[in-house]
């Protein structure tokens, strides 16, 4: 179950926003049917890269055993 303020992982690339599978975002809104979510993706400097409405298949909860990875954001 995904809730507001949860950290989630992107399950697919979203090229028009420069996002890659595995990028980490924060859920800022859950729609009542739990089939869609508003997710914000930010840089290390807290600048918003994208605020997107995503389907439940586009994200997954972060697993406690995962390690984060940093990459340079490719301009779109």
**Max intra-chain CA distance, the chain:** 35
4: pLDDT strictly greater than 90:
yes
pLDDT tens-place string over residues 9-61 = 999 999 999 999 999 999 999 999 889 999 999 999 999 999 999 999 999 99
Please check whether residue 63 lies inside any domain of the structure.
no
Please check whether residue 65 lies inside any domain of the structure.
no
What is the number of domains present in the chain? 1
Q: Residue 41 pairs with which residues in a beta bridge? A: 50
| Cβ contact 40:23 at 8 Å | no
**Which three-class secondary structure state does DSSP give residue 67?**
coil
Residue in 74, 56, 64, 53 with CA at minimum distance from that of residue 11: 56
pLDDT tens-place string over residues 65-75 = 999 999 998 77
| Cβ contact 59:9 at 8 Å | yes
Q: Which residue range forms the structural domain that includes residue 34?
A: 7-58
- Alpha-carbon distance 73 to 62, whole Å? 21
Please check whether residue 30 lies inside any domain of the structure.
yes
76: pLDDT strictly greater than 70:
no
């Amino acid at each position: 179950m995904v809730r507001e303020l949860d950290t989630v992982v992107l399950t697919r690339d979203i090229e028009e926003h420069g996002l890659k599978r595995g990028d980490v975002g924060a859920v800022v809104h859950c729609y009542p049917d739990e089939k869609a979510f508003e997710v914000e993706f930010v840089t290390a400097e807290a600048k918003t890269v994208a605020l997107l409405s995503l389907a439940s298949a586009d994200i997954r909860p972060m697993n406690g055993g995962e390690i984060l990875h940093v990459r340079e954001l490719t301009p779109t």
